[in-house]
């Protein structure tokens, strides 16, 4: 079972230089670094020794640029590598199960591992509203001006119902593990239906629905299983809990193979021990 790790990063190049060789012992590694990230000067040669560097995008949190960065990783990995499965991670993700156990599970189950929010929960949170209005993101526009633009957009425009063109949208956490046939189909689908990308552009947090919806529309929908990445949202808010050693029993009991998010600066020994055990 050949694996590829697709890593989205925007900080901490020295942490990446510890993570990439550990992951690279078990598969191919591909790295996207936010075009506007700082602190990477002097590290590019070393990073390129341990990962294939994907075309860089200027990433705005919550914007379509997150999807563009992910697509850049996918296209690079499909073209350059021979992996059977592709695992999307952030620089704050770490493995919590051995690579051998992961490979055995993928071989036995042959699923598509992506978080799918139950329809009832999506309705309770009114997630479809994210696709009804234009939402703009900018790193340069002053925040009050950007907020005013988005408030005006919600009042002035309502977009056509998504499901009339593509079917029911699906939602969930963005971290997934998908097979090569599934991603080959997805990239062909994008080329065949360019309006799909346009429909997600200028929407709210499209990274939490773009791939979920695409996989649910695909011939691989019946293979969908839960995400392999543990994330703790119990505290609510827009960011998950930062994990520590105290969370390890709960993470291990979940049966998931990766976890997000860890703070290397808080417990660097924990990060290294998880990578060594992988």
Question: Domain map of the chain by residue range?
Answer: 3-120+162-277
Q: Please report the pLDDT score of residue 125 as a whole number.
A: 87
Distances from the Cα of 225 to the Cα of 111, 157, 212, 222, 259, angstroms: 6, 36, 11, 9, 17
Sheet holding 3-9, edge to edge: 52-53, 28-33, 3-9, 85-90, 176-179, 112-114, 224-225
Q: What is the DSSP letter of 185?
A: H
What's residue 236's pLDDT?
63
The whole-angstrom separation of Cα 74 and Cα 180 is: 10
Taking the C-alpha atoms of residue 148 and residue 30, their distance in angstroms, rounded to an integer, is 38
Q: How far apart are CA 151 and CA 264, in angstroms?
A: 37
pTM above 0.85?
Answer: yes
Question: What is the biggest distance separating any 2 CA atoms in the chain, rounded to whole angstroms?
Answer: 54
CA 272 to the chain's CA centroid? 22
Whole-angstrom CA distances from 245 to 18, 64, 274 are: 19, 34, 11
Q: Any idea what DSSP says for residue 225?
A: E
pLDDT value of residue 237:
67
The phi and psi torsions of 30 (rounded to 5 degrees) equal -130, 135
Alpha-carbon distance of 80 to 31, in angstroms, equals 13
Per-residue pLDDT of the chain (278 residues; tens, 9 = 90+): 999 999 999 999 999 999 999 999 999 999 999 999 999 999 999 999 999 999 999 999 889 999 999 999 999 999 999 999 999 999 999 999 999 999 999 999 999 999 999 999 999 889 998 988 888 888 888 888 887 877 888 877 888 888 888 999 999 999 999 999 999 999 999 999 999 999 999 999 999 999 999 999 999 999 999 999 999 987 766 788 999 999 999 998 999 999 999 999 989 999 999 999 89
The radius of gyration of the chain's CA atoms, rounded to the nearest angstrom, is: 19
In whole angstroms, give the CA distance from residue 119 to residue 125: 10
Angstrom CA distances, 39 to 42, 73, 263, stand at 8, 21, 17
Cα–Cα distance for residue pair 169/179, rounded to 1 Å: 21
H or E element in which residue 7 lies: strand 3-9
| Residues 6+ positions from 65 with CB-CB distance below 8 Å | 57, 58, 59, 137
Pick from 271, 209, 190, 243: nearest CA to 19: 271
What kind of fold does domain 3-120+162-277 have according to CATH? Answer: Spore Coat Polysaccharide Biosynthesis Protein SpsA; Chain A (3.90.550)
């Amino acid at each position: 079972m050949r694996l590829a790790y697709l890593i989205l990063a925007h900080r901490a190049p020295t942490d990446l230089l510890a993570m990439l060789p550990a992951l690279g012992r078990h598969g191919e590694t591909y790295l996207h670094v936010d075009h506007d990230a700082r602190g990477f000067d002097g590290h590019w040669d070393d990073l390129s020794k341990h990962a294939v560097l994907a075309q860089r995008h200027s990433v705005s949190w919550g914007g379509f640029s997150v999807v563009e960065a992910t697509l850049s990783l996918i296209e690079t990995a499909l073209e350059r590598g021979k992996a059977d499965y592709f695992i999307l991670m952030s620089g704050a993700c770490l493995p919590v199960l051995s690579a051998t156990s992961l490979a055995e599970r993928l071989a036995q189950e042959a699923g598509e591992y992506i978080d799918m929010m139950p329809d009832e929960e999506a309705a309770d949170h009114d997630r479809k509203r994210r696709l009804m209005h234009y939402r703009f993101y900018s790193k340069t526009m002053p925040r009050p001006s950007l907020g005013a633009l988005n408030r005006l957009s919600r009042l002035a425009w309502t977009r056509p119902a998504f499901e009339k063109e593509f079917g029911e949208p699906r939602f969930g956490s963005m971290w997934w593990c998908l097979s090569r046939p599934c991603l080959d189909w997805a990239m062909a689908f994008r080329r065949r239906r360019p309006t799909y990308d346009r429909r997600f552009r200028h929407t709210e947090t499209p990274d939490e629905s773009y791939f979920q919806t695409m996989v649910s529309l695909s011939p691989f929908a019946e293979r969908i299983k839960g995400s392999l990445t543990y994330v703790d949202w119990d505290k609510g808010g827009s960011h998950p809990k930062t994990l520590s050693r105290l969370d390890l029993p709960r993470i291990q009991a979940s049966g998931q193979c990766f976890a997000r998010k860890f703070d290397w600066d808080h417990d660097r020994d924990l990060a290294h021990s998880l990578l060594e055990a992988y």
